[in-house]
Amino acid sequence: ASVPGEKGDAFTITAKIPGPVGNNLAVIVSHDDDKSFTVKVGDQSVSGLTMKKSGGSHVGDAQFDAIAIGNVGAATEMPAAGSYILSGGGVTPLSAADYVGSAAKRTGLGA
């Protein structure tokens, strides 16, 4: 999910576990003041985050069990407060080629 900022995306949130397990995770962003904010997912919450890389509270350095934060925007791009629901994870069905594989590449059931 993309978390919007004032002029573009502030950062993106992705589930650490791909597929349907990561769907419906709710990530809540709330402002602490005009320069810092809190990100909460499940029972984990990190407060005092900023968009600035200096100071030790950069949002890109925040650690969560269930999500990863990436594509962090400009230091002036404060994220919009709100609730963001992760979606889009799916399971790619296996094909016959996945089972058959290749003896030369040592893939498939006969490997």
pLDDT one-digit tens code per residue, 59-99 = 999 999 999 999 999 888 899 999 999 987 777 777 887 77
**Is residue 5's pLDDT more than 90?**
yes
Q: Which fold has domain 2-100?
A: Immunoglobulin-like (2.60.40)
What's the confidence (pLDDT) of residue 79? Answer: 96
Stretch 30-58: mean pLDDT: 94
Whole-Å CA distances, 75 to 2, 30, 41, 45: 16, 17, 23, 21
Which is nearest to 3 in space by CA: 61, 82, 60, 63?
82
Answer for the pair 23, 1: CB distance below 8 angstroms, yes or no: no
Percent above pLDDT 70 for the chain? 98
Stretch 4-26: mean pLDDT: 89
Alpha carbons 11 and 83: distance in angstroms, whole number: 14
Percent above pLDDT 90 for the chain? 59
Residue 55 structure tokens: 């100071």
pTM of the entire structure? 0.77
Amino acid at 56: G
Cβ within 8 Å of residue 104, ≥6 positions away = none
